[in-house]
Structure 1
Amino acid sequence: MATRKKTRIAAMADIHTKSTDKGILRSTFKEINEKADILVICGDLTDTGDEEEAKILGEGLEVLQVPVIGVLGNHDYEKGRQKIIKQILADHDMTILDGESIVVNNVAFAGVKGFGGGFEQYMLSLFGEDVMKQFVHEAVNESLQLDRALTRLEQESPELPKVVLMHYAPIKETIMGEPEQLFPFLGSSHLAEPLSRRQVTVAFHGHAHAGSPKGETATKIPIYNVALPVLRRQKKDQSFIVIEV
């Protein structure tokens, strides 16, 4: 059997495109053309969830010569225009995953936004007021959507490496550095369950700007926090990392 050629994935998150940001990522995208085979962007594509911001990002993406896949983040939901944002970016050939999966360059991708809820023994539970139960249900539903997407990939492309994109964190390790009071709003251990169950190769997220760059699940799946502020704390002007799978 021939050895599968590795695919270079550039990953970034929390680019928070503003209406004044025309051309701001042009040099970054040109560099990605040279260093990667695919770009993934893990949420907070816009700064205030405005379609004009999405248009600015879409125009910027036109310089890319590699496929781009992403998920939405909480900022992209701010004005309730997330469906419009998704369509604008689709019109610029960006694939936004929301419980869906796709195979690109012999790599299987699944993506969800994710949600909060806390980690490990401190996860919020389905108990108490209805509004608290709704909060926990949101995290559980995002996890179930991810599991279904990964199940489809297992059935359709079992031989391919599986890569997951999300905005919220699936483990506590990559949000360390944030105030502990914010942990329940930065991610949920529910999101880690399908990663381990479906033997994912690697997962990327953002959202935790003051978090840590890398961690792993209990089953040793590598998790990368690729929020721009995290990347730039590691290296000045760094806007993405490249991982081979």
Structure 2
Amino acid sequence: MPAPKSSTHIRFAAVGDIHVQKDSAGTLRSLFAEADETADALLLCGDLTDYGTAEEARILAEELGAVHIPVVAVLGNHDYESGTPEVVADTLVHAGVRVLDGSACEIEGVGIAGVKGFGGGFGRGTLGAWGEPAIKLFVQEALNEAMKLESALAKLRTRRRIALLHYAPIVGTVEGEPAEIFPFLGSSRLEAPLLRYPMDAVFHGHAHRGTLEGRTINGVPVYNVAKPLLQRIRPDTSPFFLYELPREPVDEKTPADAQA
């Protein structure tokens, strides 16, 4: 049975890679209903649709119709497949979802910064912007996404902060995937902004055969909440990850708030 909601903590139900298809109607309602009963907000970490079509986005919006808690999402690479990610985003926004793309929002005193992210590899294996123009464009896309994340984090004025991504910012949560595809699963460039701001947690998806939990260089927990991964490692529980933070006193303000 799901745990009851808490008066002392705010709970986030996080899941990515739900890959809604044209025949997915009715398949996610029980999952979303349980998240609605258990959590105070639902976080969706990209690959919300399978081909990024208007029909798939409409079905997802209908599946989310019974959710009464706030829903925050970022898009994933599959949501770009049909070349119209704005259709997916607009459909979800009209359904009440907060879709983040280098932007931020606040849920019950917790700031959430969101961006899709991009690939490029990790650590010494990170692809450099050298050589052919196509390589430079690829690297620039990763840099652009990292700068968007930096911008979103800079907007937050809350003491508690969460980052929402699709691609992984660290190698630890993609381990378990074939090593040769690591460069396409995320980028260390996404980790850099996370080190410059105090963070409570980071959520991403994309790596279906990765690892549930890792940490940034400075110890912030990073969770891979791809639905296929959650289903494989926890087959007896609903495929969303439940994360909680203490609720902030209503009258508590951050130093930035006090100076505003």
TM over 0.5: yes
Match of 2:114? Answer: 111
1:1-245 paired onto structure 2 within 5 Å: 5-153=8-156, 157-158=157-158, 160-236=159-235, 238-245=238-245
What is the TM-score of this pair, normalised by structure 1? 0.95
Superposed CA offset, 1:182-217 (max 9, x none): 011000000011111112110000000110100001
Structure 1 residue 243, shift from structure 2 partner: 0.3
Structure 1, gaps ≥5 residues long? none
In 2: Cα distance, 1:33 partner to 1:42 partner = 17
In 2: Cα distance, 1:65 partner to 1:79 partner = 30
The answer to whether the Cα contact below 8 Å between 2:113 and 2:149 also exists between their aligned partners in 1 is yes
Percent pairwise identity: 46
The answer to whether the Cα contact below 8 Å between 2:31 and 2:238 also exists between their aligned partners in 1 is no
- After alignment, is 128-137 or 232-241 more displaced? 232-241
Structure 2, gaps ≥5 residues long? 1-6, 246-260
In 2: Cα distance, 1:178 partner to 1:9 partner = 26
In 2: Cα distance, 1:81 partner to 1:238 partner = 31
In 1: Cα distance, 2:54 partner to 2:160 partner = 34
Structure 1 residue 112, shift from structure 2 partner: 0.4
Match of 2:250? Answer: none
In 2: Cα distance, 1:97 partner to 1:115 partner = 15
Match of 2:254? Answer: none
Match of 2:249? Answer: none
What is the TM-score of this pair, normalised by structure 2? 0.90
Structure 1 residue 71, shift from structure 2 partner: 0.3
Structure 1 residue 5, shift from structure 2 partner: 4.0
Q: Which amino acid aligns with 2:221?
A: P
Note the aligned Cα RMSD (angstroms).
1.1
